[in-house]
Amino acid sequence: MKETELSRVVFYSKEDMSSGSHLRNGETILKQPINYDENNINNILELYNIHKYIHGGMYLTSWTHEAIHLYKTKSQEYRKITHKFMSNIDDSNIDILYNALERDYINTFWELFNNQDLHNKISSNSFVNILSNNDYIIYKILIHKKIVDKYDIRIRDFLISFPKSAEILLSTYTSQDQFNNKRLYIPKTLSTEDKQQIISAYLDSDDANLNYVRLIQNTRNQTDFKLSDKIRLKAKRLHESLINKYFSNNKGIRYGVSVTFSKNLDYIKNYFIDETMIINYIYNTDFINQQKDEYSLYLNFKLLFEFLDDQNRISLVSKTSQLGTLEKVIGLRSSNEYRTGTTFSLNNMASIAQLAGYNEIIIESNNSLENIIHHVFTKSFQDLYKFSNNATFAIPSKDSSFFEKIRILAPEFESILKQYKLFAEEGVIDFELLQISSNPFEIKDIPSINNEKYIYINTDNETEINCINILFSNQTLLSYIDPFKDKNYDNFYEILTKEEIKYTYYEEYQTQYLDYLVENNYILINHENIITPTNPIKLIILQDLYQNEFASKHHFSEEFKKEVEEMINEKILYSDNSLLSKPEQAYFNYFLNKKEFTNGLDLRNSYLHGTQARHDEVEKHRNSYLTYLKLLFLLLLKIEDDLYISNMNK
């Protein structure tokens, strides 16, 4: 790379951590009289990038008000110079100019090409010549609708033969790109058949990427992007082959869980991470054996295994906040996938291992987990909360195979849902009404018997979302400031609540975020420039919601409930009254069906329609059996929470 390229000013985004360095490079040019080489495309485009910084309100803290005013005036001149230069590009000079273009200004060139309608001056032949000689720029071109519409047929012809076209299609129609949210436009003349041909050829190639192959498996058909079952099967087989190829001799990063039940311990439960990165859970068998009644044995799923948190939220659900930065940006995900990461996988492994070990202990005491479910749903809830006294739950025989047990548990799971739905709506379980009703329902249709059961951040409130991201996101860099850089605070809220920070600690391009929070009454700046939160309770609630995606208002103190009501009135939050929160509904749907998520395990439908594993695949049926037990206990815990809140509010 040339030295001039290293010192060039490039605008990436307001959030980019290199903005300060680029602004300092731009300052050198801004201080000089406007003097430029009208034949040097890179010098011209550099002026435009400086304009984008100034136009975006990004300044250095060292700049005076007079300097900022002067630079704003110069910035407008830079924009005019750029516009004049681009308007003089035509077929006669575009090849020479483009070949002289430095790499950092390719995006800027096509942005201006699109915005200034150069496609009306540049012929298809000239455009195709540039594209053919620089095929990587297709990614930069497809973000500009007017360019794609103008050269539609020529871009379609290019995509048919371009080796990476399948990846472009999958990124456009199916993937969740956490790193780049720019929309790609596909030529209208690229037909469904063309797209299928591109995908099939990609799977046949030697360069198929494991992430994209997985994406083909999990993509959902759309109006303008459909994949046949044969293509999906081809993708499935290739995915299995690539997994074996890549990982058979490569152990990668080791992680996992170990669950142990032991006697003669001086504690009830403990956990630690060993030197091999295995999380070890240890539980006291003596403590469990002392519990003789079914209700106490049932409560172990909350108190011992911690399936619920202190607000009785299911702790096993996947949360965006638990995804590491690399998990968010590396790899590809279908937009219709249930997003899982390392934390979710570890929690799932642990919960199944806990159930398996606990089940053995329960069996040794001449009891069963199914009997515990039966007792709690048909007896304990009645005694504690005056739940309907005719609730039922059928138990499979202890000698049944795992496959046979699932065939009993699956419809009984549905029955519990229907029984509680009737109870919430009618106050009683009328089995005649239950048997007559044939209307289909989903988990999200099960109501709570409590108003405003859950609260969520209102994502339609753009101003509040911006404030929340500034406060809690680890991408704003507001926590990385002198004199606290060595403390590695994760976000602005964390440093705000743990340190005394001053407005003057921040660069000018950062203070726009602080000003935004001041303007929206989230922080105050006193006469000593010290920053403090305006309403600490409000921030505590928002921080909890940012981390957990929902909250149970009825588990808040009265002071916090009052604040929640104000936030609902201000359209910052909204509430609903379903039995399960939205993340919990998603968790159940991930395991039970594929209606919401293309990567769902589909346990309910596979056992209902006979598409489950073969009868002799015992381990798979065992895992499905334990998963169904887990979902049943989670469902009972959520029903109990609903009944408890109702009794508490009376």
To which residue do tokens 């015992």 refer?
618
CA distance 644 to 650: 10
Q: How far is CA 465 from CA 297, 457, 532, in A?
A: 43, 8, 20
Q: Which of 585, 562, 543 is nearest to 313 (CA)?
A: 585
pLDDT tier for residue 17 given thresholds of 50, 70 and 90: low
E strands, 246-320, are 256-262, 269-273, 278-284
Amino acid at 458: N
Rounded to the nearest 5 degrees, what angle is found at the Cα of 78, between the Cα atoms of 77 and 84? 90
pLDDT at 333 over 90: no
The larger pLDDT score, comparing residue 11 to residue 437, is at 11
Question: Rounded CA gap, 295 and 298, in Å?
Answer: 5
Residue 329 pLDDT > 50: no
Nearest-angstrom CA–CA distance, 425 and 447: 8
Start-to-end C-alpha separation, the chain:
73
What token pair was written down for 229? 């079952």
What is the predicted pLDDT for the residue at 221? 86
- Please give the average per-residue pLDDT across 411-432, as a whole number: 95
Q: Which two tokens stand for residue 313?
A: 């939220």
Q: For helices 65-87 and 41-55, what crossing angle results, to 10°? A: 140
For range 428-440, the mean pLDDT: 86
- Can the peptide bond before residue 536 be classed as cis, meaning omega within 30 degrees of 0? no
Element containing residue 532 per DSSP (H, E): strand 531-533
What average pLDDT does range 423-451 have in this prediction?
Answer: 91
- Across the beta sheet with 551-552, the strand order is 551-552, 454-457, 573-576
- Cβ 196 vs Cβ 150: under 8 Å: no
CA atoms 425, 382, 373, 398: torsion sign: negative
Q: Are 628 and 351 in contact (CB under 8 A)?
A: no
pLDDT at 308: 98
Examine the pLDDT at 89 and tell me if it is beyond 90. Answer: yes
- H helices of 400-507, in order, are 402-426, 431-436, 462-472, 492-498
**Which of 78-82, 226-230, 481-485, 613-617 has the weakest average pLDDT?**
613-617
Average pLDDT over residues 118-138: 96
Q: Rounded to the nearest 5°, which phi and psi values hold at 278?
A: -95, 130
Q: Which amino acid is at 167?
A: E
Interval 180-216: pLDDT, tens: 567 899 999 999 999 999 999 999 999 898 888 988 9
Token pair, residue 618, equals 């015992």
Please provide the size of the chain in residues. 650
Query: Where does the pLDDT of residue 550 fall: very low under 50, low under 70, confident under 90, or very high at 90 and above?
Result: very high
Is the pLDDT reported for residue 1 higher than 50? no
Residue 250 has pLDDT above 70, yes or no: no
Digit-coded pLDDT (tens) for 131-169: 999 999 999 999 999 999 999 999 999 999 999 999 999
Q: Which is it for strands 454-457 and 531-533: parallel, antiparallel or unpaired? A: unpaired
Among 1-10, 30-39, 150-159, which is the least confidently predicted range? 1-10
368-404 pLDDT, tens digit per residue, is 999 999 999 999 999 999 999 999 999 999 889 999 9
CA 227-232-237 angle, 5° bins: 160
Please give the Cα distance from 544 to 551 (Å, whole number). Answer: 7
Query: What does the alpha-carbon distance between residue 380 and residue 638 come to, in Å, rounded to a whole number?
Result: 14
Closest by CA to 521, choosing from 510, 509, 532, 529, is 532
Identify the pLDDT of residue 60.
87
Least confident of 99-113, 318-332, 450-464, 624-638: 318-332
pLDDT, residue 439, reads 75
Q: In a 3-state reduction of DSSP, which class is residue 404?
A: helix
d(CA 267, CA 286): 10
Is residue 2 very low, low, confident or very high in pLDDT (cuts 50, 70, 90)?
Answer: very low
Type and span of the H or E element at 647: helix 618-648
Between CA 126 and CA 104 the distance in angstroms is 22
Nearest to 627 by CA among 262, 343, 369: 369
pLDDT at 332: 60
Residue ranges covered by each domain of the chain = 256-438+614-635, 454-576
Query: Distance (Å, rounded) from C-alpha 633 to C-alpha 419?
Result: 16
Read off the pLDDT of each residue in 256-261 and give the average, rounded to a whole number.
93
pLDDT in tens, 40-70: 999 999 999 999 999 999 998 789 999 999 9
Average pLDDT over residues 485-501: 93
Q: Cα–Cα distance between 217 and 334 in angstroms, integer?
A: 9
Give yes or no for a contact between 241 and 214, defined as CB atoms under 8 angstroms apart. Answer: no
Mean pLDDT, range 324-329, rounded to an integer: 54
For the ranges 17-26, 49-58, 320-329, the maximum mean pLDDT occurs at 49-58
The tokens for 143 are 């973000």
Report the pLDDT value the prediction gives residue 155, as an integer from 0 to 100. Answer: 97
- Alpha-carbon Rg for the chain in angstroms: 30
From 239-243, 358-362, 523-527, the region with the lowest mean pLDDT: 239-243
Torsion angle (degrees, nearest 10) of CA 116, 119, 121, 124:
160
What is the per-residue pLDDT for 191? 95
Locate 158 and state its tokens.
């290019």
Q: Give me 398's structure tokens.
A: 């202890």
pLDDT at site 6: 63
SS3 per-residue string spanning 158-183: HHHHCCCHHHHHHHHHCECCCCCCCC
Which residues, 6+ apart, have CB-to-CB distance to 329 below 8 Å?
A: 178, 179
